[in-house]
Amino acid sequence: MGFIDIRNLNYGHKHNKILQNININFNKGKFYAIVGPNGSGKSTLLKNIIKALEPTLGEILLEGKNISALDAKYMASKISYVPQNTYIELEFTCLDVVMMGNSHRLRVFQNESKEQIASAYEAMKKLEVYNLKDKLVTEISGGERQRVILARAIAQDASCIILDEPISHLDIKYQIIVLKELQELKKNGKTIISVLHDLNFTLDYADNVILMKNGCIYDFGEAIDVITSGNLKAVYDVDGEIIKLNNKSQIVF
């Protein structure tokens, strides 16, 4: 049994089956990348795990407990989530947004502790958004906002971080900063589950890869075993070769 166990998960309707027969376990201290073409069910899978969607069939267990029976505070103590769309309409400061990661620990009208504030500052420094702490989140760029939301997820200090395309709007420098920080969190025992589109970054940073196609898991295993020339052709319909460059595997299309 893993940290998160997905058993025979199906989601959709009779004529629109978005996820079909998903069976997979996620263990602590691992970095899992979910990859696949657009429309293959990646985001839908994440939303089922965080209870934003309810499975049509099957079950999801969190440390052996069916998530359908778990309340929001307990879920927040175990899983933090970074959505694909990070737009925020309300005029909170960036620090306010990051501090929201601690809300599940607070009682009504209780203020954050010095330790929680320090944790928020530290997360913002790691993602280089500390200088934005007093700015309104509505006044910063999309990439900056994405890093603020990532800092909130880190400050939440949950056992698992689930991310939907966390580097999609970032410059290359910040893509690397984010992926290296996720690796560090993994080394400290966190479970990382992330949708990624860049397959070369996936080869560099992920321990295991879930390759999806048409709502099903097409392949699963270690990154180097899943991202192969054959799978690239079968799933993405592109020709690619895996080569070694400076002791790292890279794809040449």
Q: What is the pLDDT of residues 125-169, one digit of tens each?
A: 999 999 999 999 999 999 999 999 999 999 999 999 999 999 988
Percent of the chain residues topping a pLDDT of 90? 83
| 77 neighbors 104 (Cβ within 8 angstroms) | yes
Q: Which of 161, 194, 154 is nearest to 78 (CA)?
A: 161
- What pTM value is reported for the model? 0.94
Lowest mean pLDDT among 2-16, 89-103, 190-204, 231-245: 89-103
Q: Which of 18, 20, 87, 43 is nearest to 196 (CA)?
A: 43
Q: Is residue 37 part of a domain?
A: yes
Q: Is residue 72 part of a domain?
A: yes
- pLDDT confidence band for 111 (50 / 70 / 90): low
| Per-residue pLDDT, 117 | 85
| Per-residue pLDDT, 145 | 94
| Per-residue pLDDT, 115 | 82
- pLDDT confidence band for 105 (50 / 70 / 90): low
- Crossing angle of helices 114-126 and 142-155, in 10° steps, is 140
What is the spatial order of strands in the sheet that 79-82 belongs to?
79-82, 160-164, 191-195, 31-35, 208-213, 216-222
Q: Is residue 228 part of a domain?
A: no
Mean pLDDT of 235-240: 96
For the chain, what is the mean pLDDT? 93
Q: Which domain holds residue 186?
A: 4-223
| Per-residue pLDDT, 104 | 67
Mean pLDDT of 231-249: 93
Indicate which CATH number applies to the domain containing 50: 3.40.50.300
CA dihedral of residues 101, 104, 110, 112 (deg, nearest 10): -30
For residue 46, which amino acid is it?
Answer: L
Distance between CA 169 and CA 175 in Å, rounded? Answer: 9
| 240 neighbors 251 (Cβ within 8 angstroms) | yes
Q: Is residue 240 part of a domain?
A: no
Q: Is residue 208 part of a domain?
A: yes
| Per-residue pLDDT, 107 | 53
- At residue 169, the 3 state secondary structure works out as coil
Q: Is residue 246 part of a domain?
A: no
* pLDDT exceeds cutoff 70 at 20: yes
Q: Is residue 232 part of a domain?
A: no
| Per-residue pLDDT, 13 | 83
Q: How many domains does the chain have?
A: 1
Percent of the chain residues topping a pLDDT of 70? 96
* pLDDT exceeds cutoff 60 at 207: yes
- Phi, psi dihedral angles at 52 (to 5 degrees): -75, -25
| Per-residue pLDDT, 15 | 82
Q: Is residue 235 part of a domain?
A: no
